[in-house]
Amino acid sequence: MAAGKRKRDSPTLPAEKLPSKTRSHHTKVKTEVGSADDSKTETTKRTKNELSDNKRLSTQKHTAWSQYTSQSPFPSFPHPTPEECRIAHAHLKELHQEAVEAEFADENTPETIPHVLDAMIIAILSQATAWSNAKRAMNSLKKEYGSIFAYDKIVAGGQAKLAETIRCGGMHNRKSMIIMTVLEQVLERYGKYDLDDMFTLDDEEVMKELLSYKYMGTKSASVVMGWCLKRNPFTVDTHVYRLAGLWGWRPKDATREKTQSHLEIMIPPNLKFDLHFLMIQHGRTCPACRGGSKGGKCTLKGGRVIKSDQDVDEQEEAEEE
C-alpha cells in the first residue's frame, strides 16, 4: 500500500493548512547567481562518480525507509496501544502544553515555514543539537546575510564564511558543508532554489526526493515532511527514542529508524503531531526521564499516569522483575 493513500485520509491534514501554490517565492534566483564565482563553489563541486554514488545511496536510503511504511518492523510488539497514547497525550498536555505553545509562538517555528527548501535548511541546522542552538545559528544567518534563506548570498559567500556564521549553533563545519552540498544539488537539478513542486507529490515520492539529497537522512526528511509539507509523520529524535524505551513503547534493542517506523504505525494519526512535541518537551525537562531511574520519579510511564509514590514503587518493582 502506498503511504500516500493512507495519509490522505488522515483527519489531521486539513487542506487549509497546506501552503498555497500561488504564494510568492522569495528564494527564486537565476542559475547564474550560484555559479557566478567558480572559485567559491568548486570546493563543493561533485564529480560524476560521486553523483552516481549518491544516486545509489539515496536508493538504499529510500528502500530502507519504504520497507516499513505499511507494517511495523515489530509486528508482534503491542505497545503503545491507542489507549496508552491517549493517556500519555492527555497527561503530557497537562504538564507541557504551555511550554510547547511558547515555542510555537517563536517566529522561527518550523511549523510555519512555507517553503520546502527552507524547512530542509532548518532541519539541517537542528540536526543533533538543541533547538536553542539551531535558533542561534538562524539568528546569526539573519544578521550576516539579511535572511536565513538568502541562498544566493550564502553560496556566493562560500563555505568558510557560512561555517563561521553558524559556528554558534554547533557542528558548524559539517553543517555548512551539508548546506552547501544541498544548495548545489538543488540548483543543479532545478536551476533555482525552490523545491515547492514537492507539494504536488504523494508521501512516497516526497520521501524519495528528500532522501535523494546527500546527507538527508530519514530523520531530517521526516522532519521536513511534518513541518512544511504537513504530512504528519511521527519523528523520533533522541528524546522520543529514549522515552519510548523507558515507557516500553519499543523493543529494548530497536534502532531509532525502526522505532520511528513502529511508532508511525502504532500512534493514532490525530495524536502524532502533538505527541511528538510534547514528548520532546518532556524528554528535555523531566529529571526522571533525563537521568533514567536515578534522576527522580516520573509521573508518567508506559502511557500510564502514576498518581502516588506507592504506584511508582510498584511500577519500579514490576520493572525489576
Judged by the rule CB under 5 A, the positions of this chain that interact with Zn ion are 286, 288-289, 298
Judged by CB, which is closer to Zn ion: 100, or 288?
Answer: 288
Q: Count CB neighbours of 51 within 10 A.
A: 12
Task: Please state the separation of Cα 36 from the chain's center in Å.
Answer: 32
Name the minimum Å distance from CB 287 to Zn ion: 8
Judged by CB, which is closer to Zn ion: 182, or 298?
Answer: 298
Name the minimum Å distance from CB 288 to Zn ion: 5
Residues with Cβ within 8 Å of residue 220, at least 6 apart in sequence: 120, 123, 124, 127, 210
Burial class of residue 107, CB neighbours in 10 A (0-12, 13-18, 19+)? exposed
Name the minimum Å distance from CB 142 to Zn ion: 35
For residue 181, give the C-alpha cell. Answer: 552540498
Judged by CB, which is closer to Zn ion: 162, or 298?
Answer: 298
Judged by CB, which is closer to Zn ion: 225, or 298?
Answer: 298
**Rounded Cα gap, residues 67 and 73, in angstroms:** 9
Name the minimum Å distance from CB 99 to Zn ion: 14
**Rounded Cα gap, residues 210 and 205, in angstroms:** 9
Residues with Cβ within 8 Å of residue 95, at least 6 apart in sequence: 278, 282, 299, 300
Name the minimum Å distance from CB 242 to Zn ion: 10
Judged by CB, which is closer to Zn ion: 78, or 291?
Answer: 291
Judged by CB, which is closer to Zn ion: 210, or 288?
Answer: 288
For residue 283, give the C-alpha cell. Answer: 524528554
Name the minimum Å distance from CB 295 to Zn ion: 9
